[in-house]
Chains A and B, each alone.
Chain A
Amino acid sequence: MSLTGEKQTGREQTGSPGDSVKKGDSGLVALFFVVGLAASLAVGWIVFPKLLYSKSEQPFDFSHVTHADAVGDCDSCHFFRDDGTYAGVPTLAQCVECHEEVQGESEAEEIFVNEYVAEEKEVPWKVYSRQPDCVFFSHAAHVKAAEMECAECHGDIGESESLKPYEENRITGYSRDIWGQNIGGFKKNSWDRMKMDDCGACHKETMGSKGACFQCHK
């Protein structure tokens, strides 16, 4: 305010205070808000998962469908041992029962026989369903007692012709399949996500309680 008591020029010129802010400014503010919102949503939903997960291939390709046709169901290669423990991913010895030498024409098999069978080296498969060391999972309880299908937790992998790339969370080191493909953690099928809460929810639904801690932990 000047000493002579004259009013400020700006106010006089524009008339009522805040007029220009409302008309042009507010739109710009809203625009910035929307830009900020959209950008962060895009980062959170699209950029973040791209950065978070690294992608790598399995040591060589493998077709479940070919083997299922040739050998049989899931339990031909993924079976229960006599003591009730689960064999999980087959060892070299199992595959060698048929693949002592190259059986077919695929490049993948060639790699297998030359680099692994010949060198007596176990294949370092990247296991999509690997859980932390604190987890105890009993296949016998779920497959035998609860009579669940393999696909209920593992998806339709048995019908795949090749192994999908192994996407690994750079921070935790676990497969993307544990949290789920959907970065928001939303799932459609039972096999889309396999964190502790998913196990807990199914237990609660089917058995009425999540059970003792040591049932699933060691």
Chain B
Amino acid sequence: MKINRRHFLALGMGATAGTMLSPLPWKLTDDVSIWTQNWSWTPVPEIGEYYYTGGACTLCPGGCSLAVRKVGERVVKIEGAENSPINTGDLCGVGISATQLLYGPSRIEGPMVRSGKRGEGKWKSLSWEDAEALLAEKLGAASGSGVAALSATKTGSMAALIQRLLDTVGSDRFLTLPSIYDTMEQAMALTMGRDAGESVGFDMENTDLILSLGSAVAEGWGSPVRMVKAAGTKKMIQVEPFLSTTASMADTWVPAKPGTEGVFALSVAAAMIQEKLYDHIFVSTATEGFEPFSAWLLENYTPKKAEAVTGVSPAMVKKVAVAFAGARRPVAVCGRGKGETPVSLAEALAVFALNALKGSVQRDGGLVKVGALPYAVATAEAEAMGEKLAALTEKGKTDLLMDWGTNPFYTLASSEKAKEALASIGTIVSFSPYMDETAAMADLILPDHMHLEKTQDVPVRAGLERATVTLTQPALAPVMDTKHTGDVLISVGGQLDGGGDAFGWDDYESYLEESCGEMWEALYDEGLWQGEIAWKKGLERILGTSQRFTFVIPEGPVYTPAEGAESSHPYTLVPSWSLRIASGAVADAPFTMKTIEDRVLTKGLSHVEMHPSTAKKAGLKDGDTATLATASGKATVKVTLFEGMMPGVVAMAAGLGHTAFDGFIGDKGASYTALSGTMVDPGTGFNCAWGARASLTKG
């Protein structure tokens, strides 16, 4: 009776039978299969109550209001506010992707001071108290005229505070990035008179034809969402050297040579006068200077004469003149691309004149005056902004530069020389919430909250038909150890000699309420304040003087040729614009980067679009790698052929080529700004570069 193999077999069979009859194998299989799907690194987003809070976007000057969707304490989606008269429930891709800017890897975690070489990326954290004391110390040590500050807005509570800080240290170098509105405001001053603070707007809602002189109506000009709606519903004539989306949607596309939009506008004006298509009554009763202006026009800018400059046939000019004159309430707009850079004063005057010829001035559907924003704490109007900005890009003129939301190392670095000058500034202070190009080069960073984390007024300067201010709202508690720059300035200002009185507020919130004056109630309750329509209607209009217009013969050239010699740089480089690519101080978030087509950006290289005949001339094929060079710099690019390009013109997307931020945003493509160079407009002193002569060599 030895225990042998058979017994163990029997034991095994019994065990097997028993195991099969027990739940063990079945339950274990079920459990293991669940276990294989339980990956600890796959996030399980927490549930919670759904809320919507309000807010305003500051990523472009458009002035959109937000509806921020939250789950518990987390922001999960950004949508447009339904009740905003500006964006009526919609929002562009850049605004929607702000959640990724809020939570993304570009965020600066707290106050930092540089600890390695400039641009090396080595930082040391310090407390807010220490950081503010350090800034106060540096401001105290610097000489008044050597201190400059860049502000994202020209007016508003923050601009006033920055100016106040500069006043306290004896500096008048309050700087903003000039845009089309700066030029247009100067044109308005000459033609329609301008009180301090007044700006220019367009009554898009009531126009029936938009004659756009190079403006990216469907790609971000003005208030982007508002204009996209206009592009889809209004008749359009687009003047542009290549087929943009706006040009394709337009009823007529006029391919004028790059930079000649102003000349084209004048030739249309001349045609209207030649054919007697202008509004006689308006011109004779409400304008001055028509005779000399008309004589000058007919001598220099007839369609035939203009053709030599613009390349547009007189027949086309006449067609546009007839269409413009034939509309009931047409409006002409200018500002190339998104209007982020100014045009020459001469060009703005030309476009204003066009509007005046149809009486589209200070009336429904036309070019209108926008009243000054009634801030109780006013911002002084900056004089000679063009010169002051130029001083920034000249070595040795600036000891300390503070950047609040303009990112000059990207937006003002229009050449290697400019970049070097900026890099030579003694002390660079950044208030950016993100590690942008300027923060990366800064010596001291005092990170502001981003727009979803703070309360702040946003004065809107986007060609709206009436004065508008929106209010950002904190959707959640700050994610990082950031502090409202307003609070920082009040604290720092109070520490300066003579600053105690000037910065007497407890905190920014109390200052904000005071500075917004009569606007505060509406801002606080609805997140939006709008002024009255500043033009009169009906009989009032005819009897009143609000419509008066003076035709001004522009001094200085209406067309400035691009920098560079044709022999060495046979092509003309111009920027192309898109609502998918943020092109100001901030950069695209990952979700928006996703929307960039592979005909625009491939594996970190920007593409340049050109006509097949241009490529052939340059010895290039579709997809080739090439070196694009202008007088200001060079970049490696890839070639995209597109029949919609004017032969000889090469276009590159603006807004790429960021070198900082994070791995999702940075090192993608080339910066158009860095290649664009400088064209100083004698009328305003601003850099009005519309393009640059370029060369293309394979490889």
Contact = CB atoms under 8 A, between A and B. Distances in A.
Taking the complex as a whole, does A directly touch B, i.e. does some CB pair lie under 8 Å apart? yes
Given A25-B6, A83-B50, A171-B31, A33 B21 contact: no
B13 A33 contact: yes
Q: What range describes how many residues of A lie at the interface? A: 35 or more
Contact of A40 (B3, B16, B37): B16
Given A41-B21, A87-B49, A36 B12 contact: yes
B27 A29 contact: no
Interface string B1-38: 10100111011111111110111101110111011011
B315 interface: no
Contact of A25 (B1, B31, B32): B1
Contact of A35 (B11, B24, B44): B11
A39 B18 contact: yes
Q: Binding site of A, secondary structure by majority: helix, strand, loop or mixed?
A: helix
B16 A85 contact: no
A165 interface: no
Interface string A27-63: 0111011111111110111001000100000000000
B49 A30 contact: no
Given A169-B31, A172-B31, A37 B7 contact: no
Of B3, B13, B22, B30, the most chain A CB neighbours within 10 A belong to B22
A7 interface: no
Contacts of B1: 24-25, 28
B47 interface: yes
Interface in B74-107: none
A12 interface: no
B43 to A, nearest CB: 9
Nearest to B51: A83
Given A81-B49, A85-B49, A37 B34 contact: no
A72 interface: no
A33 B17 CA distance: 9
Contact of B15 (A28, A37, A81, A169): A37
Interface string B32-58: 101101100000100101100000000
A36 B30 CA distance: 24
Contacts of B14: 32-40
A28 B7 contact: yes
Contacts of B50: 81, 83, 85
Nearest to A88: B47
B201 to A, nearest CB: 39
Q: Binding site of B, secondary structure by majority: helix, strand, loop or mixed?
A: helix
A143 to B, nearest CB: 17
Interface stretch (A103-111, A145-153, A179-187, A200-208): A179-187
A171 B16 CA distance: 23
B22 A43 contact: yes
B8 A32 contact: yes
Interface in A132-184: 132-133, 169, 171-174, 179, 183-184
Contact of B7 (A29, A169, A179, A183): A29
A93 B278 CA distance: 69
B11 A36 contact: yes
B22 A32 contact: no
B79 to A, nearest CB: 16
Nearest to B2: A25
Contact of A171 (B6, B21, B35): B35
B10 A40 contact: no
B248 to A, nearest CB: 38
B72 to A, nearest CB: 9
Of A40, A45, A171, the most chain B CB neighbours within 10 A belong to A40
Contact of B34 (A25, A34, A40, A172): A172
B477 to A, nearest CB: 13
A172 B37 CA distance: 9
B18 A32 contact: no
Given A37-B17, A44-B18, A172-B31, A184 B10 contact: no
A34 B28 CA distance: 24
Contacts of A28: 1, 3, 7
B346 to A, nearest CB: 57
Contacts of A36: 10-18
A179 B27 contact: yes
Contacts of A183: 23, 27
A44 B21 contact: yes
B22 A40 contact: yes
Given A32-B10, A171-B34, A172-B35, A40 B44 contact: no
Contacts of A133: 44
A157 to B, nearest CB: 20
A171 B32 contact: yes
Nearest to B1: A24
Contacts of B37: 132
Contacts of B19: 40, 43-44
B103 to A, nearest CB: 20
A35 B11 CA distance: 7
A33 B18 CA distance: 10
Contact of B22 (A41, A169, A172, A174): A41
A112 B47 CA distance: 23
Contacts of B12: 36
B562 to A, nearest CB: 55
Contacts of B13: 33, 36
A32 B31 contact: no
Interface string B288-331: 00000000000000000000000000000000000000000000
Given A29-B6, A171-B35, A40 B15 contact: yes
Given A48-B23, A171-B28, 5 more contacts: A32-B8, A35-B11, A35-B14, A36-B18, A171-B34
Interface of A: 24-25, 28-30, 32-41, 43-45, 48, 52, 81, 83, 85, 87-88, 132-133, 169, 171-174, 179, 183-185
9 contacts: A33-B14, A34-B14, A37-B17, A40-B17, A44-B23, A44-B24, A81-B50, A174-B34, A179-B27
Q: Which 5 A-B pairs have the closest CB atoms?
A: A44-B22, A36-B14, A40-B18, A37-B14, A44-B24
